[in-house]
A and B are shown apart, each in its own frame.
Chain A
Amino acid sequence: MGSIELWDNLIQLAVSGISSLWALWLYRKGHARHFSFLCGALMCWSLGLMYWLLYYMLRGYSPPEPSPANFAWSGSHLFLISVAISMASDEERAWHPPLALLAPALTLPFTYTWFALGEVTSPTINLLWGLGFAVLSYVSLRGLMYAHRQRDRRRILYHALVLALVLFNEMMLHISLFLWPEDYLHFNGYYAFDMLVTLMLALLTPALIRAAAERPVNIARA
Protein backbone atom coordinates (compact mmCIF):
# COMPACT_ATOMS: atom_id res chain seq x y z
CA MET A 1 0.00 0.00 0.00
CA GLY A 2 1.46 3.37 -0.99
CA SER A 3 1.93 6.07 1.60
CA ILE A 4 -0.73 8.35 0.15
CA GLU A 5 -3.28 5.53 0.22
CA LEU A 6 -2.34 4.66 3.78
CA TRP A 7 -2.61 8.26 4.98
CA ASP A 8 -5.90 8.70 3.11
CA ASN A 9 -7.37 5.65 4.83
CA LEU A 10 -5.96 6.47 8.26
CA ILE A 11 -7.33 10.02 8.14
CA GLN A 12 -10.75 8.74 7.13
CA LEU A 13 -10.59 6.12 9.90
CA ALA A 14 -9.70 8.77 12.47
CA VAL A 15 -12.40 11.19 11.30
CA SER A 16 -15.16 8.58 11.22
CA GLY A 17 -14.07 7.08 14.55
CA ILE A 18 -13.93 10.39 16.37
CA SER A 19 -17.21 11.54 14.81
CA SER A 20 -18.91 8.33 15.93
CA LEU A 21 -17.73 8.85 19.51
CA TRP A 22 -18.94 12.45 19.35
CA ALA A 23 -22.36 11.29 18.16
CA LEU A 24 -22.41 8.66 20.93
CA TRP A 25 -21.68 11.33 23.53
CA LEU A 26 -24.47 13.50 22.12
CA TYR A 27 -26.87 10.55 22.34
CA ARG A 28 -25.97 9.79 25.96
CA LYS A 29 -26.36 13.46 26.81
CA GLY A 30 -29.71 14.10 25.17
CA HIS A 31 -31.08 10.61 24.34
CA ALA A 32 -32.12 11.74 20.86
CA ARG A 33 -32.30 8.55 18.83
CA HIS A 34 -31.04 10.12 15.58
CA PHE A 35 -27.66 10.64 17.26
CA SER A 36 -27.55 6.95 18.13
CA PHE A 37 -28.22 6.09 14.49
CA LEU A 38 -25.57 8.55 13.29
CA CYS A 39 -23.16 6.99 15.78
CA GLY A 40 -24.03 3.60 14.28
CA ALA A 41 -23.44 4.89 10.75
CA LEU A 42 -20.05 6.38 11.53
CA MET A 43 -19.02 3.43 13.70
CA CYS A 44 -19.90 1.00 10.92
CA TRP A 45 -17.85 3.10 8.52
CA SER A 46 -14.81 3.23 10.78
CA LEU A 47 -14.97 -0.45 11.76
CA GLY A 48 -15.34 -1.47 8.13
CA LEU A 49 -12.32 0.60 7.19
CA MET A 50 -10.40 -0.79 10.20
CA TYR A 51 -11.19 -4.34 9.11
CA TRP A 52 -10.12 -3.57 5.53
CA LEU A 53 -6.80 -2.10 6.70
CA LEU A 54 -6.09 -4.91 9.18
CA TYR A 55 -6.83 -7.55 6.55
CA TYR A 56 -4.48 -5.81 4.11
CA MET A 57 -1.77 -5.66 6.78
CA LEU A 58 -2.21 -9.36 7.57
CA ARG A 59 -2.50 -10.82 4.09
CA GLY A 60 -1.03 -8.18 1.77
CA TYR A 61 -4.11 -7.84 -0.42
CA SER A 62 -7.67 -6.58 -0.19
CA PRO A 63 -10.28 -8.82 1.42
CA PRO A 64 -12.40 -10.83 -1.01
CA GLU A 65 -15.96 -9.76 -1.58
CA PRO A 66 -18.30 -10.16 0.18
CA SER A 67 -16.43 -9.45 3.37
CA PRO A 68 -17.42 -8.05 6.77
CA ALA A 69 -16.18 -4.65 5.58
CA ASN A 70 -18.82 -4.64 2.82
CA PHE A 71 -21.49 -5.48 5.39
CA ALA A 72 -20.21 -2.73 7.65
CA TRP A 73 -20.33 -0.06 4.94
CA SER A 74 -23.76 -1.27 3.90
CA GLY A 75 -24.79 -1.02 7.55
CA SER A 76 -23.58 2.56 7.51
CA HIS A 77 -26.02 3.33 4.70
CA LEU A 78 -28.81 1.65 6.65
CA PHE A 79 -28.09 3.73 9.72
CA LEU A 80 -28.07 6.93 7.66
CA ILE A 81 -31.48 5.91 6.31
CA SER A 82 -32.56 5.40 9.93
CA VAL A 83 -31.39 8.93 10.80
CA ALA A 84 -33.52 10.40 8.01
CA ILE A 85 -36.56 8.32 8.99
CA SER A 86 -36.25 9.12 12.70
CA MET A 87 -35.99 12.86 11.99
CA ALA A 88 -39.00 12.83 9.69
CA SER A 89 -42.43 13.75 10.97
CA ASP A 90 -45.47 11.59 10.22
CA GLU A 91 -46.45 14.09 7.53
CA GLU A 92 -43.06 13.80 5.85
CA ARG A 93 -43.12 10.00 5.97
CA ALA A 94 -46.52 9.96 4.31
CA TRP A 95 -45.39 12.36 1.59
CA HIS A 96 -44.04 10.77 -1.61
CA PRO A 97 -43.20 13.48 -4.13
CA PRO A 98 -42.40 12.11 -7.59
CA LEU A 99 -39.42 14.48 -7.85
CA ALA A 100 -37.74 12.62 -4.98
CA LEU A 101 -37.42 9.61 -7.28
CA LEU A 102 -34.87 11.59 -9.25
CA ALA A 103 -32.16 10.81 -6.70
CA PRO A 104 -32.40 7.00 -6.82
CA ALA A 105 -32.78 7.23 -10.60
CA LEU A 106 -29.40 9.00 -10.72
CA THR A 107 -27.81 6.18 -8.72
CA LEU A 108 -28.90 3.53 -11.23
CA PRO A 109 -26.29 4.30 -13.92
CA PHE A 110 -23.53 4.05 -11.31
CA THR A 111 -24.87 0.73 -10.06
CA TYR A 112 -25.05 -0.54 -13.63
CA THR A 113 -21.42 0.52 -14.14
CA TRP A 114 -20.30 -1.56 -11.16
CA PHE A 115 -21.95 -4.60 -12.67
CA ALA A 116 -20.55 -3.86 -16.13
CA LEU A 117 -16.98 -2.84 -15.26
CA GLY A 118 -16.38 -4.42 -11.87
CA GLU A 119 -14.63 -7.65 -12.75
CA VAL A 120 -13.63 -8.50 -9.18
CA THR A 121 -16.58 -7.03 -7.32
CA SER A 122 -19.31 -9.29 -5.98
CA PRO A 123 -22.71 -8.97 -7.73
CA THR A 124 -24.36 -9.42 -4.34
CA ILE A 125 -22.46 -6.49 -2.88
CA ASN A 126 -23.12 -4.39 -5.99
CA LEU A 127 -26.84 -5.03 -5.60
CA LEU A 128 -26.78 -4.41 -1.86
CA TRP A 129 -24.95 -1.14 -2.20
CA GLY A 130 -26.98 -0.05 -5.21
CA LEU A 131 -30.21 -0.56 -3.26
CA GLY A 132 -28.74 1.14 -0.22
CA PHE A 133 -27.66 4.16 -2.22
CA ALA A 134 -31.04 4.34 -3.96
CA VAL A 135 -33.09 4.25 -0.75
CA LEU A 136 -30.74 6.59 1.11
CA SER A 137 -30.77 9.13 -1.71
CA TYR A 138 -34.58 8.94 -1.92
CA VAL A 139 -35.20 9.57 1.80
CA SER A 140 -32.55 12.30 1.81
CA LEU A 141 -33.96 14.13 -1.21
CA ARG A 142 -37.47 13.78 0.19
CA GLY A 143 -36.23 15.17 3.50
CA LEU A 144 -34.50 18.03 1.72
CA MET A 145 -37.64 18.88 -0.26
CA TYR A 146 -39.80 18.73 2.85
CA ALA A 147 -37.37 20.92 4.79
CA HIS A 148 -37.44 23.37 1.89
CA ARG A 149 -41.23 23.51 2.14
CA GLN A 150 -40.92 24.17 5.88
CA ARG A 151 -38.11 26.67 5.27
CA ASP A 152 -35.90 24.75 7.66
CA ARG A 153 -32.42 25.57 6.41
CA ARG A 154 -30.69 23.46 9.00
CA ARG A 155 -32.33 20.25 7.87
CA ILE A 156 -31.76 21.21 4.24
CA LEU A 157 -28.03 21.37 5.00
CA TYR A 158 -27.97 17.96 6.69
CA HIS A 159 -29.86 16.22 3.89
CA ALA A 160 -27.73 17.98 1.28
CA LEU A 161 -24.57 16.66 2.96
CA VAL A 162 -25.90 13.12 2.87
CA LEU A 163 -26.83 13.50 -0.80
CA ALA A 164 -23.38 14.87 -1.51
CA LEU A 165 -21.88 11.91 0.33
CA VAL A 166 -23.90 9.48 -1.73
CA LEU A 167 -24.25 10.95 -5.17
CA PHE A 168 -21.20 13.10 -5.73
CA ASN A 169 -18.58 11.43 -3.59
CA GLU A 170 -19.16 7.78 -2.99
CA MET A 171 -20.59 6.97 -6.38
CA MET A 172 -17.85 8.88 -8.18
CA LEU A 173 -15.33 7.25 -5.88
CA HIS A 174 -16.33 3.83 -7.10
CA ILE A 175 -16.28 4.96 -10.71
CA SER A 176 -12.76 6.30 -10.24
CA LEU A 177 -11.75 2.85 -8.99
CA PHE A 178 -12.35 1.61 -12.49
CA LEU A 179 -10.92 4.63 -14.32
CA TRP A 180 -7.64 4.71 -12.34
CA PRO A 181 -7.14 1.13 -11.24
CA GLU A 182 -3.35 0.99 -11.47
CA ASP A 183 -1.89 4.24 -10.22
CA TYR A 184 -2.59 4.33 -6.51
CA LEU A 185 0.94 5.48 -5.74
CA HIS A 186 0.20 9.00 -6.90
CA PHE A 187 -2.54 11.47 -6.14
CA ASN A 188 -5.46 11.08 -8.57
CA GLY A 189 -9.23 11.43 -8.79
CA TYR A 190 -9.75 8.46 -6.49
CA TYR A 191 -7.99 10.21 -3.61
CA ALA A 192 -9.72 13.52 -4.38
CA PHE A 193 -13.15 11.91 -4.12
CA ASP A 194 -12.15 9.89 -1.06
CA MET A 195 -11.00 13.03 0.73
CA LEU A 196 -14.30 14.66 -0.12
CA VAL A 197 -16.01 11.64 1.43
CA THR A 198 -13.90 12.18 4.55
CA LEU A 199 -14.93 15.83 4.62
CA MET A 200 -18.62 14.88 4.35
CA LEU A 201 -18.24 12.37 7.18
CA ALA A 202 -16.66 15.04 9.35
CA LEU A 203 -19.47 17.50 8.67
CA LEU A 204 -22.35 15.10 9.33
CA THR A 205 -22.33 15.35 13.12
CA PRO A 206 -22.27 19.17 13.37
CA ALA A 207 -24.91 19.34 10.64
CA LEU A 208 -27.16 16.95 12.56
CA ILE A 209 -26.66 18.96 15.75
CA ARG A 210 -27.95 22.02 13.91
CA ALA A 211 -30.75 20.09 12.22
CA ALA A 212 -31.94 18.52 15.45
CA ALA A 213 -31.91 21.76 17.42
CA GLU A 214 -35.26 23.34 18.21
CA ARG A 215 -36.33 25.93 15.67
CA PRO A 216 -36.09 29.43 17.17
CA VAL A 217 -39.45 31.09 17.57
CA ASN A 218 -40.01 33.96 15.14
CA ILE A 219 -41.22 36.67 17.51
CA ALA A 220 -42.65 38.75 14.66
CA ARG A 221 -44.89 35.86 13.59
CA ALA A 222 -45.86 34.72 17.11
Chain B
Amino acid sequence: MIYAENIFICLAAPLLVSLLFLRAGSRRFALHFTIGMAVCLLSAYFNSFISATSGSDSLDAVIVIAPMVEEIGKFLPLLYVMMMAEPSPRRLLDTALAMGVGFATFENACYLTLVDTSDLLNMVLRGLAVGAMHIGSTAFMGASLSYSRQAGWPKATAMMGVVSISIVYHAVYNLLVSFPGPMRWLGYVVPLLFALWLRLFPMRVPPAPEQQAA
Protein backbone atom coordinates (compact mmCIF):
# COMPACT_ATOMS: atom_id res chain seq x y z
CA MET B 1 0.00 0.00 0.00
CA ILE B 2 1.30 3.45 -0.79
CA TYR B 3 0.56 6.45 1.36
CA ALA B 4 -0.59 8.65 -1.49
CA GLU B 5 -1.88 11.36 0.83
CA ASN B 6 1.60 11.78 2.34
CA ILE B 7 3.13 11.99 -1.13
CA PHE B 8 0.56 14.61 -2.06
CA ILE B 9 1.32 16.67 1.04
CA CYS B 10 5.05 16.55 0.38
CA LEU B 11 4.60 17.68 -3.21
CA ALA B 12 1.82 20.19 -2.64
CA ALA B 13 3.18 21.95 0.44
CA PRO B 14 6.01 23.84 -1.30
CA LEU B 15 3.68 24.78 -4.13
CA LEU B 16 1.07 26.13 -1.72
CA VAL B 17 3.73 28.15 0.11
CA SER B 18 4.94 29.54 -3.19
CA LEU B 19 1.46 30.92 -3.89
CA LEU B 20 2.17 33.59 -1.28
CA PHE B 21 5.05 34.93 -3.31
CA LEU B 22 4.33 34.18 -6.94
CA ARG B 23 2.42 36.52 -9.18
CA ALA B 24 0.26 36.41 -12.28
CA GLY B 25 0.84 33.45 -14.59
CA SER B 26 3.30 31.69 -12.32
CA ARG B 27 0.85 31.74 -9.44
CA ARG B 28 -1.97 30.45 -11.63
CA PHE B 29 0.26 27.63 -12.89
CA ALA B 30 1.28 26.60 -9.37
CA LEU B 31 -2.34 26.64 -8.18
CA HIS B 32 -3.71 24.63 -11.09
CA PHE B 33 -0.77 22.24 -10.94
CA THR B 34 -1.70 21.55 -7.31
CA ILE B 35 -5.35 21.11 -8.26
CA GLY B 36 -4.27 18.60 -10.91
CA MET B 37 -2.41 16.60 -8.26
CA ALA B 38 -5.44 16.73 -5.97
CA VAL B 39 -7.66 15.46 -8.79
CA CYS B 40 -5.29 12.54 -9.30
CA LEU B 41 -5.48 11.65 -5.60
CA LEU B 42 -9.28 11.89 -5.55
CA SER B 43 -9.54 9.85 -8.74
CA ALA B 44 -7.51 7.11 -7.09
CA TYR B 45 -10.07 6.95 -4.28
CA PHE B 46 -12.95 6.73 -6.74
CA ASN B 47 -11.11 4.11 -8.81
CA SER B 48 -10.58 1.96 -5.74
CA PHE B 49 -14.17 2.36 -4.58
CA ILE B 50 -15.71 1.53 -7.96
CA SER B 51 -13.34 -1.40 -8.48
CA ALA B 52 -14.28 -2.83 -5.11
CA THR B 53 -18.03 -2.40 -5.55
CA SER B 54 -18.05 -3.74 -9.13
CA GLY B 55 -15.77 -6.67 -8.33
CA SER B 56 -13.27 -5.75 -11.06
CA ASP B 57 -9.77 -7.16 -11.03
CA SER B 58 -6.72 -4.89 -11.01
CA LEU B 59 -6.33 -4.97 -14.81
CA ASP B 60 -9.94 -3.98 -15.43
CA ALA B 61 -9.49 -1.22 -12.86
CA VAL B 62 -6.70 0.21 -15.02
CA ILE B 63 -8.16 -0.28 -18.50
CA VAL B 64 -11.90 0.12 -17.86
CA ILE B 65 -12.57 2.18 -14.74
CA ALA B 66 -9.57 4.51 -14.43
CA PRO B 67 -9.95 6.26 -17.83
CA MET B 68 -13.58 7.10 -17.16
CA VAL B 69 -13.00 8.32 -13.62
CA GLU B 70 -9.83 10.27 -14.32
CA GLU B 71 -10.99 12.09 -17.43
CA ILE B 72 -14.28 13.11 -15.81
CA GLY B 73 -12.26 14.12 -12.73
CA LYS B 74 -10.04 16.38 -14.84
CA PHE B 75 -12.99 17.83 -16.75
CA LEU B 76 -15.02 18.94 -13.74
CA PRO B 77 -12.49 21.44 -12.31
CA LEU B 78 -11.96 22.85 -15.79
CA LEU B 79 -15.69 23.31 -16.18
CA TYR B 80 -15.82 24.98 -12.77
CA VAL B 81 -12.99 27.37 -13.64
CA MET B 82 -14.63 28.24 -16.95
CA MET B 83 -18.02 28.92 -15.40
CA MET B 84 -16.80 30.80 -12.32
CA ALA B 85 -13.77 32.72 -13.56
CA GLU B 86 -14.67 33.03 -17.28
CA PRO B 87 -11.01 33.18 -18.27
CA SER B 88 -9.86 34.06 -21.76
CA PRO B 89 -9.55 31.06 -24.10
CA ARG B 90 -5.74 31.13 -23.94
CA ARG B 91 -5.78 31.30 -20.16
CA LEU B 92 -8.28 28.42 -20.00
CA LEU B 93 -5.97 26.36 -22.18
CA ASP B 94 -3.06 27.18 -19.86
CA THR B 95 -5.19 26.12 -16.89
CA ALA B 96 -5.95 22.83 -18.60
CA LEU B 97 -2.28 22.26 -19.37
CA ALA B 98 -1.27 22.97 -15.78
CA MET B 99 -3.88 20.58 -14.41
CA GLY B 100 -2.80 17.88 -16.83
CA VAL B 101 0.85 18.33 -15.83
CA GLY B 102 -0.04 18.19 -12.14
CA PHE B 103 -2.10 15.06 -12.65
CA ALA B 104 0.66 13.29 -14.58
CA THR B 105 3.37 14.35 -12.12
CA PHE B 106 1.51 13.00 -9.10
CA GLU B 107 0.66 9.79 -10.92
CA ASN B 108 4.34 9.28 -11.78
CA ALA B 109 5.38 10.07 -8.22
CA CYS B 110 3.08 7.36 -6.88
CA TYR B 111 4.21 4.97 -9.62
CA LEU B 112 7.83 5.42 -8.48
CA THR B 113 6.96 4.02 -5.05
CA LEU B 114 5.63 0.82 -6.59
CA VAL B 115 8.27 -0.20 -9.12
CA ASP B 116 11.97 -0.70 -9.53
CA THR B 117 13.31 2.63 -10.74
CA SER B 118 16.69 1.35 -11.90
CA ASP B 119 15.53 0.92 -15.53
CA LEU B 120 16.25 4.38 -16.94
CA LEU B 121 14.72 3.74 -20.37
CA ASN B 122 11.47 2.54 -18.83
CA MET B 123 11.34 5.58 -16.56
CA VAL B 124 11.95 7.98 -19.43
CA LEU B 125 9.31 6.34 -21.62
CA ARG B 126 6.78 6.07 -18.86
CA GLY B 127 7.32 9.64 -17.72
CA LEU B 128 7.13 11.14 -21.19
CA ALA B 129 4.23 9.00 -22.39
CA VAL B 130 2.02 9.50 -19.34
CA GLY B 131 2.81 13.20 -19.30
CA ALA B 132 2.04 13.61 -22.98
CA MET B 133 -1.17 11.60 -22.66
CA HIS B 134 -2.60 13.51 -19.71
CA ILE B 135 -1.51 16.88 -21.03
CA GLY B 136 -2.91 16.09 -24.47
CA SER B 137 -6.30 14.95 -23.23
CA THR B 138 -6.69 17.82 -20.74
CA ALA B 139 -5.54 20.42 -23.26
CA PHE B 140 -8.04 19.03 -25.74
CA MET B 141 -10.83 19.42 -23.17
CA GLY B 142 -9.66 22.93 -22.28
CA ALA B 143 -9.51 24.09 -25.88
CA SER B 144 -12.96 22.63 -26.55
CA LEU B 145 -14.37 24.36 -23.47
CA SER B 146 -13.07 27.67 -24.79
CA TYR B 147 -15.03 27.12 -28.02
CA SER B 148 -18.18 26.32 -26.08
CA ARG B 149 -18.57 30.01 -25.15
CA GLN B 150 -19.04 30.98 -28.77
CA ALA B 151 -22.51 31.85 -29.95
CA GLY B 152 -24.29 29.05 -31.72
CA TRP B 153 -21.97 26.36 -30.36
CA PRO B 154 -23.92 23.24 -29.26
CA LYS B 155 -22.50 23.40 -25.77
CA ALA B 156 -23.77 20.36 -23.90
CA THR B 157 -23.58 17.80 -26.67
CA ALA B 158 -20.22 18.92 -28.00
CA MET B 159 -18.62 19.09 -24.56
CA MET B 160 -19.84 15.66 -23.52
CA GLY B 161 -18.61 14.35 -26.84
CA VAL B 162 -15.17 15.83 -26.18
CA VAL B 163 -15.07 14.15 -22.76
CA SER B 164 -15.93 10.86 -24.49
CA ILE B 165 -12.98 11.27 -26.86
CA SER B 166 -10.66 11.97 -23.92
CA ILE B 167 -11.96 8.91 -22.06
CA VAL B 168 -11.45 6.53 -24.95
CA TYR B 169 -8.04 8.05 -25.84
CA HIS B 170 -6.88 7.48 -22.27
CA ALA B 171 -8.40 3.99 -22.30
CA VAL B 172 -6.68 3.00 -25.54
CA TYR B 173 -3.34 4.16 -24.09
CA ASN B 174 -3.87 2.16 -20.90
CA LEU B 175 -4.85 -0.87 -22.97
CA LEU B 176 -1.82 -0.68 -25.24
CA VAL B 177 0.67 -0.34 -22.38
CA SER B 178 -0.99 -3.30 -20.66
CA PHE B 179 0.00 -5.54 -23.55
CA PRO B 180 3.33 -7.33 -23.37
CA GLY B 181 5.86 -6.78 -26.14
CA PRO B 182 5.63 -4.41 -29.16
CA MET B 183 2.10 -3.20 -28.41
CA ARG B 184 3.39 -1.64 -25.22
CA TRP B 185 5.95 0.34 -27.20
CA LEU B 186 3.17 1.50 -29.52
CA GLY B 187 1.26 2.64 -26.45
CA TYR B 188 4.20 4.75 -25.32
CA VAL B 189 4.72 6.23 -28.77
CA VAL B 190 1.10 7.23 -29.55
CA PRO B 191 0.80 10.04 -26.95
CA LEU B 192 4.19 11.39 -27.97
CA LEU B 193 3.12 11.46 -31.61
CA PHE B 194 -0.14 13.17 -30.64
CA ALA B 195 1.77 15.78 -28.64
CA LEU B 196 4.11 16.32 -31.59
CA TRP B 197 1.12 16.68 -33.91
CA LEU B 198 -0.41 19.26 -31.56
CA ARG B 199 2.88 21.17 -31.56
CA LEU B 200 3.15 21.14 -35.34
CA PHE B 201 -0.55 21.80 -35.96
CA PRO B 202 -1.65 23.68 -32.82
CA MET B 203 -5.25 23.80 -31.80
CA ARG B 204 -6.62 27.23 -32.52
CA VAL B 205 -8.30 28.82 -29.57
CA PRO B 206 -11.02 31.33 -30.38
CA PRO B 207 -10.37 35.01 -29.67
CA ALA B 208 -11.41 36.34 -26.29
CA PRO B 209 -15.08 37.44 -26.14
CA GLU B 210 -14.11 41.13 -25.93
CA GLN B 211 -12.04 40.75 -29.09
CA GLN B 212 -14.98 39.07 -30.79
CA ALA B 213 -17.26 41.95 -29.87
CA ALA B 214 -14.80 44.58 -31.12
Contacts and interface: CB of A to CB of B under 8 A. Distances in A.
Interface of A: 28, 33, 37, 40-41, 43-44, 47-48, 50-51, 54-55, 57-59, 63-64, 66-69, 71-72, 74-76, 78-79, 81-82, 85-86
B175 A79 contact: no
Contacts of B152: 86
Contacts of B118: none
A217 B171 CA distance: 48
A75 B164 contact: yes
Nearest to A40: B161
A142 B63 CA distance: 39
B128 interface: no
A132 B162 CA distance: 15
B171 A44 contact: no
B179 interface: yes
A58 B187 CA distance: 14
A71 B153 contact: no
B60 A71 contact: no
Given A54-B176, A58-B175, A68-B67, A81 B157 contact: yes
B137 to A, nearest CB: 12
A40 B154 contact: no
Interface in B39-78: 54, 56, 59-60, 63-64, 67-68
Contact of B168 (A33, A41, A68): A68
A132 B171 CA distance: 22
Given A33-B153, A37-B158, A68-B68, A55 B164 contact: no
